[in-house]
Amino acid sequence: MLVNSAAKPGDLLVLTKPIGTGILTTALKRDAIDEQALAPAVRSMTTLNDGAMRAALACGVRAATDVTGFGLLGHLGQLLSASGVAAELHLARIPVLDRARELAAAGFVPGGTTRNLATSTAEWEADIDPADRLLLADAQTSGGLLLAVPPAKEVVLREALDREQTLAAAVIGRCLDGVPGAITVRRAP
């Protein structure tokens, strides 16, 4: 069984689906995109996390959480607080659905995403723009898993995620010693 309280300093953070479903579905509701443009989000929302879970269990992953209504930042913050660690995220490595950044910049943002960002205590590098901040707080429907994996198991995990055909297997950051729950977002590693 995976828990959200077993991440350790040095663990890598691996995300198994791209983010942006809340922004894309909001854009559809406001007639800013058509159903064809929404198709990648639908695929993401209808892809189950069972393959990612099998891969994680087979590789000895210690800690995991799903990424849903509280967005990537909110769910990561819960995992970090429960584990007593901090983390740094690398924005350039976070997978994002096509058009999500553009639509976030244009204001197609769900209320839950706005609330998530307003309550986030993340520290941001100065050059990270508002649309990217919204993406990391985007309230996901059926988002992916966020896995904390020891570096020695990264390759094995990514190979297992590939075999399971997860939508992503992106190393997006790492856990650190520091204030439990603290998140620093950097543009690149």
Two tokens at 75?
A: 């769910």
Contact call for residues 166 and 44 (beta carbons, < 8 A): no
Q: Each residue of 12-56: pLDDT tens digit?
A: 999 999 999 999 999 999 999 999 999 999 999 999 999 999 999
Residue 128's pLDDT band (boundaries 50, 70, 90)?
very high
Residue 16's Cα: distance from chain center in Å?
Answer: 8
Could you tell me the residue ranges of all domains in the chain?
12-186
Q: What is the pLDDT averaged over residues 80-109?
A: 98
> What does pTM read for this prediction?
0.97
Residue 172: what pLDDT? 98
Fold of 12-186: Phosphoribosyl-aminoimidazole Synthetase; Chain A, domain 2 (3.90.650)
pLDDT at 62 over 90: no
Give the residue carrying structure tokens 């350790």: 8
Q: Does the CA dihedral 96-98-104-110 come out positive or negative?
A: negative
Instruction: Give CA–CA dist 114/18, Å, rounded.
Output: 19
Q: What is the pLDDT averaged over residues 107-135?
A: 97
What are the two backbone dihedrals, phi and then psi, of residue 88, each rounded to the nearest 5 degrees?
A: -125, 135
> Which parts of the chain are beta strand (E)?
12-15, 63-66, 86-90, 123-124, 145-149, 170-176, 183-186
Q: Each residue of 152-161: pLDDT tens digit?
A: 999 999 999 9
